[in-house]
A and B are shown apart, each in its own frame.
Chain A
Amino acid sequence: MSVTTDDAWTLRGDRRGDGPVVAVLGHAMMVDRRTMDRPAGQGLASELAARGIEVLSFDARGHGQSGPGADIGGSWTYDDIVRRDVPAMIAAGREVAAGRRVVLVGHSLIGHAALIHAGLDPRRTADGIVALAPNLWAPHLERSAARRALKAASLRSWLAVTRAKGFFDTKGLGLGNTAEARAYVEQFWTMWRTDRLASPDGVVDYEDALGEARVSVLGVSSDGDRLFAHPDSVDAYLGLMTAADVEHRRLRGPDAPDHMGLVTSSRSHALWSEVADWILAG
């Protein structure tokens, strides 16, 4: 299946299962929707479908089957994901749902983008959002000096690689399977450098939007996620949602999955079951 954004980018996806609720799944940066059902047929998407939830899963622009990718000239910003892809995915869910509840389940990128969108565009948000490892990087949202330094160094190196090559070659660096666009990486760097979460032109304040969102949220973090979305960082990000009904579920212990493991590790099966419970409970 596919849905077209309001700037005419076609997002490809798939659909499975049936039930009283429609879950719209979206993936992390540097990867595609296949991560939301790994191994295929036994991952998060399949678990939700097996629990009686109709599942739609989409590739964000430039990712997976929603090309063109950044490695062949595709270009987008994080703002495009927030204000164009997320509402298009939810709109597809609403159409399929035909009156049933729609819950967005976003891992990392689509998770934190959906939370911002919920505040920017409340009429087009989902009935609930499950955000797995949601956070954006900004110095004031990172209490650990060591992680602040590591995040700054990571962003600087990503930016340097991106500017040299014209796009963020995640495959070449072993970070993922999908290239990210230069404008996307530039926006992340700007948000870090200015210590302000905002659109590239500075007009749209994402922190204000998070404060405006009034949606029900299940946020998930894991002690095994040591940099991309450390539980403390997720806590700080979710803490910006002062008007929303937010539940933060933190996975603890030595077996807690890492950032990608939240959706790709078989150790996360119990979590996926909790997610299904939350979705079905409404």
Chain B
Amino acid sequence: MRAQPIHSKPAVPAEDAEVWNASRYVPGSGRGHYESWFQRANHPTRPLAFWIRYTIFAPAGRPDDAEGELWACWFDGEAGTVVAAKRELPMADCQFARSGLSARIGDSALDARGLRGAVEGGGQRLGWDLAFTGDEPPLLTFDRALYGTPIPKAKALVGVPNAVFTGHVEVNGERVEIDGWVGSQNHNWGSQHTDRYAWGQVAGFDGEPGSFLEVGTGYLKLGPIWTPPMTVMTVRLDGREHRLGSIRQSLRASGSYDFFHWRFESSTGEVSVAGTIAAAPETFVGLPYRNPPGGVKTCLNSKIARCDLTVRVAGGAPRTITSRCRAAFEILTEATDHGVPVMALSDGRGGLARGPR
């Protein structure tokens, strides 16, 4: 595993962002497909965050039932509230570009400059009008060679790491100004979701504005057998990228999580990365994710988690960095004993609010 300086020899050239963000959805295909572009950002210091996701869902064997899904969540760790909403629309009301970043679901749009839209369901309404900028090259979760292969079935990457968002979001009629919040623009797709996973991300650790962490621990089900946990991670720190994303390295790494604490570690001869991500249960919201082959899984979603990370590059002293309340933490599960309320859907709409009113 070779650490690469980001700016002199990036893993992915910045001009490839539009290629990496292009839709992989093939209209009419019966193979089953999900694909999402999600944007998220945190207040620079306070436990406030938004997450907005534009999604394609195409069930296997029923290509004519493909839909666009619009999701949005607002996390307020000060008030102790989480607000979420979702809406599904027929594909006839959606557009997804085969090149570059361009998606439209109903009247809600996303492109390489920003996103504008609204989603309403279950008595909750979130709206947004946001621009984003970023000049860092895309960050790959896996080794590049794995993005065209059948395994892993779920691909993920960060199109714009450390994106800076400006504009506003509206949460049930209350306008929140977004002024230079740092986060990311992301893209993932596949023929089915990873069977079980924890996913985390930090866009800029506290006092380390150029840093970035993308990490996942997944379990795959091969017939009746569950694989051991596979952990992939990519860290950018001090102008270098450490990508620990091969299948072999993912099996050598360790990762274990429960509700709601996660510990992970991956080492090569050149770099060692170890960390934890944790969040209070009340900062999560449960979102029902349909799986293209069938069934529904629950995504437990918090965007105001804590992350502590220690990075040791060969020959150097260990560096420990922290994000006190700006980490993304998601767990995809079929379990029901997590205690987090899960959004209910009716006629393709849903909404949920947690915490004091």
Contacts and interface: CB of A to CB of B under 8 A. Distances in A.
B138 to A, nearest CB: 11
Q: Which of B22, B24, B98, B155 has the most CB of A within 10 A?
A: B98
Contacts of B148: 69-73, 165-167, 179
Contacts of A67: 16, 19, 22, 99
A7 B98 contact: yes
A68 B26 contact: no
Contacts of B96: 8
Interface string A40-83: 00000000000000000000010000111111111110000000
A68 B102 contact: no
A68 B22 contact: yes
A10 B21 CA distance: 13
Interface in B93-117: 95-100, 102
Dominant secondary structure at the B interface: loop
Interface residues on A, range: 20 to 34
Q: Which of B26, B102, B148, B189 has the most CB of A within 10 A?
A: B148
Contacts of B181: none
Contact of A73 (B95, B99, B189): B189
Contacts of A166: 148-150
A9 B27 CA distance: 13
Given A8-B95, A8-B99, A9-B98, A68 B24 contact: yes
B19 A61 contact: no
A116 B79 CA distance: 64
Contacts of B23: 8
A73 B190 CA distance: 9
A75 to B, nearest CB: 5
B352 to A, nearest CB: 32
A91 interface: no
B99 A66 contact: yes
Given A8-B97, A75-B24, A68 B19 contact: yes
Contact of B102 (A8, A71, A73, A167): A8
Contacts of B99: 4, 8-10, 66-68
Interface string B82-102: 000000000000011111101
A8 B147 contact: no
Interface in B123-156: 144-145, 147-150, 155
Contacts of A61: 98
A206 B34 CA distance: 32
Contacts of A71: 145, 147-148
A73 B155 contact: yes
A75 B99 CA distance: 12
A279 interface: no
Contact of A74 (B16, B24, B145): B24
Contacts of A165: 148-149
Interface string B42-64: 00000000000000000000000
Interface residues of B, number: 24
A72 B18 CA distance: 13
Nearest to A77: B26
Contacts of B97: 8-10
Contacts of B147: 71-73
B18 to A, nearest CB: 8
Contacts of B189: 73
Q: Which of A5, A68, A69, A70 has the most CB of B within 10 A?
A: A68
A105 interface: no
A126 interface: no
Contacts of B16: 67
B98 A183 contact: no
B243 to A, nearest CB: 15
Contacts of A69: 19, 148
A87 to B, nearest CB: 15
B284 interface: no
A70 B150 CA distance: 12
Nearest to A201: B28
B197 interface: no
Contact of B19 (A4, A72, A167, A183): A72
A123 B145 CA distance: 42
A154 B102 CA distance: 38
Interface in A144-167: 165-167
14 contacts: A7-B98, A8-B23, A9-B97, A10-B97, A66-B99, A67-B99, A68-B20, A69-B148, A72-B147, A72-B148, A74-B22, A75-B26, A75-B29, A166-B150
Interface of B: 16, 19-20, 22-24, 26-27, 29, 95-100, 102, 144-145, 147-150, 155, 189
Interface of A: 4-5, 7-10, 61, 66-76, 165-167, 179, 183
Given A10-B97, A70-B148, 18 more contacts: A5-B98, A7-B27, A7-B98, A8-B96, A8-B102, A10-B99, A67-B16, A68-B22, A68-B24, A69-B19, A72-B144, A73-B147, A74-B22, A165-B148, A165-B149, A167-B148, A167-B149, A183-B26
